[in-house]
Amino acid sequence: MLPGYDPNYDDEASMKLLEQLTTNAYEAQQQVLEQILAQNVHTEYLRSFLNGHSDKKHFKEKVPVVNYEDVRPYIERIANGEPSDIILAHPITELLTSSGTSGGQPKMMPSTAEDLDRKTFFYNLLVPVMNKYVDGLDQGKGMYLFFIKPEIITPSGLLARPVLTSYYKSKNFRKRPFNRFNVYTSPDETILCPDSKQSMYCQLLCGLVQRNEVLRVGAVFASAFLRAIKFLEDYWKELGCNIRTGHVSDWITDPSCRNAVSLILGKPRLDLADLIEHECGKKSWEGIIKKLWPRTKYIEVIVTGSMAQYIPTLEFYSGGLPLVSTMYASSECYLGINLKPLSKPSEVSYTLLPNMAYFEFLPVEKNSEVAEEIQCVGISDQNGTCKEDRKERAEIVDLVDVKLGHYYELVVTTFTGLYRYRVGDILMVTGFHNNAPQFRFVHRRNVVLSIDTDKTNEEDLLNAVTQAKRLLEPLGFLLTEYTSYPDTSSIPGHYVLFWELKMKGKDDLPELENAIMEQCCSIVENSLDSVYRRCRKKDNSVGPLEIRVVIHGTFDSLMDYCLSQGSSVNQYKTPRCIKSEEAIKILDARVVGKFFSKKVPFWEPFKLQTK
């Protein structure tokens, strides 16, 4: 299932493998399902549906399509010490904490030792695809800014941590293609540094010192790359000083990180320090990437899905370099790769690799996606639960049976204990590579706000706003309407809520006290889920939440605008997230007060409940 070859040298063999896999997509999928079912038919979970049968017909008829809530009890039992074989024949070696949350805490996906090889196989295939489109990448280095995140130990002794932290800490990462030839500017020690500030500083320092060798730069998501630029804005003088003196700042105390960086920094380099200070000292940072790393051919960051909001800012800093989204993956399993990495961000499609998992697709009516196209209306489901019901009844289809131009929600059956699991992503079929379909990532189901890896849905937002407005009610203030948008005009971006307030019994605007409104901002933040609060407190990847109070009648104007854009009068509901610039302008023109959260919200690594 995972054919062997040497990714360090053999681009041709890799491309051939890709051709074979995509040509034999149907056979690969059959084989994947057969293998998963044969291995796991006697687990408690599958036994309850299949009663010992392991054929596809029984699987399709009896195993239900599920959400996280359905499998959560099994995963928690494993986290609390029961054997893995309640869901999986192979031992579960760790739990991967997703940025999707359930009950305010990260969802946990099971993982196995063997799965690391599957991920490695996936990463290795990205190399020849890139080499096919960009020449000479072996003539220099990659400056990739990667970070690890906190991990916890479950009561059963399993590690629970994000999928990338797990991968970066693995031997497979150390042994990744070409790493032994020092082709990445960040030493592994700087990536593995648990202090994210030291890690960022050291990676940028190493990247600057090796600037003439850098051919490509990147991070996983666009938001992380922009955070690095912001960090550079704040620290370029100190970085320049370290390069000038050949001495790493004393606050870099992580020993292995410090050693690794000192080796790269070497002797004082006055010319280099002058050049960095000259470029960074300029008023405008337009095109700074090209100026600091002049040989860069592209920026590798995911700019599809919610990350598309960062494209204009990236373009400003990049000086016209291509933005390359190479892969589509999740904590559940790795999914697809972009076979045309230089295509425009709006045209990026991912080809799902048919040996990664067994993929199924729940058809989604295009009309339910129109909401996003109208933009004004946000991405919520206008038809409420009806759509969900219809989707459950709609026939689920296999990978090779999806139709061009149609929309689907992705369902996966993995090698790691998830069976017919709804990932929550909506995809659209844009074409085929051989017999394997290619998909545009449309959006994540029911996410209204996202700045970094946080994913806030309508319900979370409503709950947080409800908590905050309790503070206002005793003062005789009424919150009559609200909506939101992610403001990414500065780094890091932040959530903006528009609130229409009035006094009880009359339409007058209340007198707004800064302290009270700032407290409202804090209550909202403390009521959002733990991934949001981690981004705010630990990662600094989301800025303080803002409430903009608007005058009475503002939401009527918003409704008029939305109706003029095609929303139906009968079905109109206030969008809880605004995407259209025009609609934001309408709201902004009626703002009478802006308030920011002054406190960092509470966050600590989540704890599992022990029984």
414 scored as a contact of ligand AMP (CB under 6 A) = no
Least distance from C-beta 284 to ligand AMP, angstroms? 30
- Comparing CB distances to ligand AMP, the nearer of 7 and 305 is 305
- Comparing CB distances to ligand AMP, the nearer of 457 and 554 is 457
Least distance from C-beta 97 to ligand AMP, angstroms? 8
Least distance from C-beta 99 to ligand AMP, angstroms? 3
Those residues with Cβ within 8 angstroms of residue 389's Cβ, 6 or more apart along the chain or in another chain? none
441 scored as a contact of ligand AMP (CB under 6 A) = yes
Least distance from C-beta 94 to ligand AMP, angstroms? 14
Q: How many CA atoms lie within 13 A of 323 on its CB side?
A: 28
Q: Following CA atoms 427, 429, 433, 436 in sequence, which dihedral angle do they give, to the nearest 10 degrees?
A: 70
- What tokens were used for 193? 């540094």
Task: Please list the residues that pair with 397 across neighbouring strands.
Answer: 361
Q: Which amino acid is at 568?
A: S
Least distance from C-beta 41 to ligand AMP, angstroms? 27
- What tokens were used for 507? 């339409």
- Comparing CB distances to ligand AMP, the nearer of 112 and 304 is 304
- Comparing CB distances to ligand AMP, the nearer of 261 and 335 is 335
**How many other β-carbons are positioned within 10 Å of the β-carbon of residue 432?**
15
423 scored as a contact of ligand AMP (CB under 6 A) = yes
Please state, in angstroms and rounded to a whole number, the distance separating the CA atoms of residues 209 and 247. 12
Least distance from C-beta 573 to ligand AMP, angstroms? 24
Q: Please identify which residue in 84, 99, 112, 124 interacts with ligand AMP, judged by CB under 6 A.
A: 99
Within 451-490, the residues that bind ligand AMP by CB under 6 A are 453
Q: Please identify which residue in 100, 187, 354, 543 interacts with ligand AMP, judged by CB under 6 A.
A: 100
- What tokens were used for 279? 């470029």
Q: Of 299, 296, 297, which is closest to residue 219 (Cα–Cα)?
A: 299
Determine the size of the site formed for ligand AMP (CB under 6 A).
Answer: 17
Task: Please list the residues that pair with 478 across neighbouring strands.
Answer: 502
Please state, in angstroms and rounded to a whole number, the distance separating the CA atoms of residues 595 and 447. 24
- Comparing CB distances to ligand AMP, the nearer of 450 and 483 is 450
Least distance from C-beta 305 to ligand AMP, angstroms? 3
21 scored as a contact of ligand AMP (CB under 6 A) = no
Please state, in angstroms and rounded to a whole number, the distance separating the CA atoms of residues 193 and 89. 34
- What tokens were used for 523? 């209550």
SS3 495: strand
Window contacting ligand AMP (CB under 6 A); options: 43-51, 64-72, 96-104, 166-174: 96-104
Binding mask 148-177 for ligand AMP (x = CB under 6 A): ---------------x--------------
CA distances, 162 to each of 108, 168, 569 (Å): 9, 10, 44
Helices 270-280 and 222-245 pack at an angle, to 10 degrees, of 140
360 phi and psi, to 5 degrees?
Answer: -130, 165
Q: Please identify which residue in 22, 29, 40, 98 interacts with ligand AMP, judged by CB under 6 A.
A: 98
Q: Please identify which residue in 112, 165, 166, 304 interacts with ligand AMP, judged by CB under 6 A.
A: 304
444 scored as a contact of ligand AMP (CB under 6 A) = yes
Q: Rounded to the nearest 5 degrees, what angle is found at the Cα of 449, between the Cα atoms of 443 and 453?
A: 80
Q: Distance from CA of residue 308 to its chain's centroid?
A: 11
408 scored as a contact of ligand AMP (CB under 6 A) = no
3-state helix, strand, coil in the chain (%, to 5): 45, 20, 35
330 scored as a contact of ligand AMP (CB under 6 A) = yes
- Comparing CB distances to ligand AMP, the nearer of 329 and 520 is 329
220 scored as a contact of ligand AMP (CB under 6 A) = no
Contact residues toward ligand AMP (CB under 6 A) are 98-100, 163, 302, 304-305, 325, 328-331, 423, 425, 441, 444, 453
